[in-house]
Amino acid sequence: MQGAKPARQVSDGGGGAAPAARAAAFFDLDKTLIEGSSALHFARAAYRNGLISRRQMARDVLANIRFRLEGSTDESTDVLRERIAEAITGQRQVDLMRMGQQVLAGVLPAVYPQVLQEAHDHQDAGRLAYVVTAASHELAETLADVLVLDGGIGNRSEVRDGVYTGRPEGHFTYREGKAAAIRELAEQQGIDLAASYAYSDSESDLPMLRAVGNPVAVNPDRALEEVARAEGWRIMRFDKLGRRLRIAGAAAGVALLGGGGGYLAARLRPRRRFSLLGWG
């Protein structure tokens, strides 16, 4: 994996520098480090900059709610990867980088303070802390810088003469790709994965979680929660949107049984295409 940051020197309390940390903590982004999906905030910035239509923006807002309730799927992620490649092909890298502040304006208020504190606690204990996401490597690195973490790992896209070609570069950081990326980083930085931690909300991140000695499930989807409980992993839960929407949906369903409910149900039926949502 190219461009990984060098390991931070950890203070030994005596004015000198201790050896580089030998363990790390890896944090998935969506529904783990932040509430909801970072792709929604990218979509808003893309709309403001003329990369997607108003209709697509509306679909992405609805898809974000569905992602919060149901999580990502392999199918939605494959669609996402294709759409990202299509959207950025021929775009100047500098133009997308200039969108970064608009994306962060939405992402930063969504950061879970409990998880960020976990990351900082790991750093204070001498461990490195990384953001690991299927979103862009640029976003992962920028967010890590702003949150004072040690680095970001994300999807890289090929750039030729300052323009995105639409072709991937390096690992696709989803499922086994995330695990492969952190193993590569661990080899580069001398990180002991058996002594390391990983945090995620999704069953899709089981390869990453099982690559370390201390996996933690954060706001887990049903499949991950079953694994976490069976294997005795720590579970953190504080995302309340799903519970609130399920209660509201049940109440609305009762009210709509008398008429019009069939139309609403058809409008809300899950679709197979998730547009820009479903990043990890």
> What does the pLDDT average to over 73-97?
69
For 225-250, how does the pLDDT look when each residue is reduced to its tens digit (9 = 90+)? Answer: 999 999 999 999 986 655 444 434 43
Return all residues near 20 (Cβ < 8 A) that are at least 6 apart. Answer: 7, 8, 9, 10, 189, 190
Asked which of 4-8, 15-19, 83-87 is least confident by mean pLDDT, the reply is 15-19
Q: At what angle do helices 54-70 and 38-48 cross, to 10 degrees?
A: 180
For 74-100, b where at least 16 C-beta lie within 10 A, e where not — what string? eebbebbbebbbebbeebebeebeebb
Mean pLDDT of the chain: 76
Domains of the chain in sequence order: 24-242 (3.40.50.1000)
Q: How confident is the model at residue 194 (pLDDT cuts 50, 70, 90)?
A: very high
From 12, 28, 60, 74, active-site residue: 28
Q: Is 205 a catalytic site residue?
A: no
Report d(CA 188, CA 20) in Å as an integer.
12
Per DSSP, the three-state class of 241 is helix
- How distant, in Å, are the alpha carbons of 102, 137, 138, 213 from that of 154? 19, 4, 7, 22
The answer to whether 114 and 31 have CB atoms below 8 angstroms apart is: no
From 12, 30, 150, 201, active-site residue: 30
Q: What is the DSSP letter of 17?
A: B
Q: Is 30 a catalytic site residue?
A: yes
The predicted structure's pLDDT at residue 172: 84
Report d(CA 25, CA 118) in Å as an integer.
9
The residue among 9 and 30 whose pLDDT is bigger is: 30
Pairing assessment for the beta strands 197-200 and 24-28 based on DSSP bridges: parallel
